[in-house]
Amino acid sequence: MLGLILVGLASAYSIWSFACLEANVRKARALGLPVARLPVDANNVFWILFQPHFYSLLDRLPIRWLSYRWALGSPVSINIHVADPDAIQDIVTRRGDFQHPTAELKILELYGPCISTVKWPDWPRLRKPMATPFNETIMASVWAESRRQTFGMWASWTKFADAGIPSYQRDTRTLSLNVLAAVGFGKPYDFRVSTEPSVDEIGEYRDSLQTVLDNIILLLIVPFRVLQIVPGTWAKIVNAAAADPDAKGVKRGLSVDEIFGNLFVINFAGHDTTANTLAFVTLLLAAHPDVQAWVAAETEAVAEGKPVEEWDYKQMFPKHNRCRAVFYETLRLFLPVPALPSTTSDHPQQVTVGDRTYTVPVGVNFTANLRAMQTHPQYWSNEI
Ligand code: HEM
Give the closest residue (by CA) to ligand 1 atom 42: 270
The whole-number pLDDT of residue 376 equals 86
Confidence of residue 104 (pLDDT cuts 50, 70, 90): confident
**More confident call, 110 vs 299:** 299
Q: What is the rounded distance in angstroms from the CA atom of residue 87 to the CA atom of residue 354?
A: 8
With a 6 A CB cut-off, is 15 part of the ligand 1 pocket?
A: no
With a 6 A CB cut-off, is 91 part of the ligand 1 pocket?
A: no
The whole-number pLDDT of residue 202 equals 44
Give the closest residue (by CA) to ligand 1 atom 33: 269
- Rounded to two decimals, what is the model's pTM? 0.80
The whole-number pLDDT of residue 259 equals 43
Confidence of residue 380 (pLDDT cuts 50, 70, 90): confident
The whole-number pLDDT of residue 168 equals 84
Residues β-bridged to residue 352: 357
Q: Reply yes or no on whether the pLDDT at 229 is more than 80.
A: no
The whole-number pLDDT of residue 345 equals 81
Q: Reply yes or no on whether the pLDDT at 265 is more than 80.
A: no
Confidence of residue 71 (pLDDT cuts 50, 70, 90): confident
| DSSP codes, 121-175 | GGHHHHHHHHHTT-SHHHHHHHHHHHHHHHHHHHHHHHHTTTT--S-HHHHHHHH
With a 6 A CB cut-off, is 269 part of the ligand 1 pocket?
A: yes
Q: Reply yes or no on whether the pLDDT at 92 is more than 60.
A: yes
Listed in sequence order, the residues at least 6 apart from 143 whose beta carbon sits closer than 8 Å to its beta carbon are 313, 317
Q: Reply yes or no on whether the pLDDT at 243 is more than 50.
A: no
Q: What is the rounded distance in angstroms from the CA atom of residue 253 to the CA atom of residue 239?
A: 7
Q: Reply yes or no on whether the pLDDT at 383 is more than 60.
A: no
How confident is the model over 274-302, as a mean pLDDT?
96
| DSSP structural state of residue 1 | -
Residue 176 CA: nearest ligand 1 atom is 27
Q: How far is the CA of 126 from the centre of ligand 1 (A)?
A: 15
**More confident call, 206 vs 180:** 180
Q: How far is the CA of 250 from the centre of ligand 1 (A)?
A: 34
With a 6 A CB cut-off, is 273 part of the ligand 1 pocket?
A: yes
- Least confident among 65-74, 295-304, 371-380: 65-74
Q: Reply yes or no on whether the pLDDT at 175 is more than 60.
A: yes
Residue 265 CA: nearest ligand 1 atom is 35
Q: Reply yes or no on whether the pLDDT at 251 is more than 60.
A: no
Q: Reply yes or no on whether the pLDDT at 148 is more than 90.
A: yes
With a 6 A CB cut-off, is 262 part of the ligand 1 pocket?
A: no
CA atoms within 13 A on the CB side of 125: 8
Ligand 1 pocket, mutate which of 122, 185, 337, 370 (most atoms under 8 A from CB): 337
How confident is the model over 319-327, as a mean pLDDT?
97
Q: Reply yes or no on whether the pLDDT at 67 is more than 70.
A: no
The whole-number pLDDT of residue 221 equals 62
Q: How far is the CA of 292 from the centre of ligand 1 (A)?
A: 27
With a 6 A CB cut-off, is 238 part of the ligand 1 pocket?
A: no
With a 6 A CB cut-off, is 336 part of the ligand 1 pocket?
A: yes
**Residue 269 near residue 166, CB atoms below 8 Å:** no
The whole-number pLDDT of residue 227 equals 60
Phi and psi at residue 351, in whole multiples of 5°? -140, 135
With a 6 A CB cut-off, is 125 part of the ligand 1 pocket?
A: no
Q: How confident is the prediction for the chain on average, in pLDDT?
A: 81
The whole-number pLDDT of residue 256 equals 44
DSSP 3-state of 58: helix
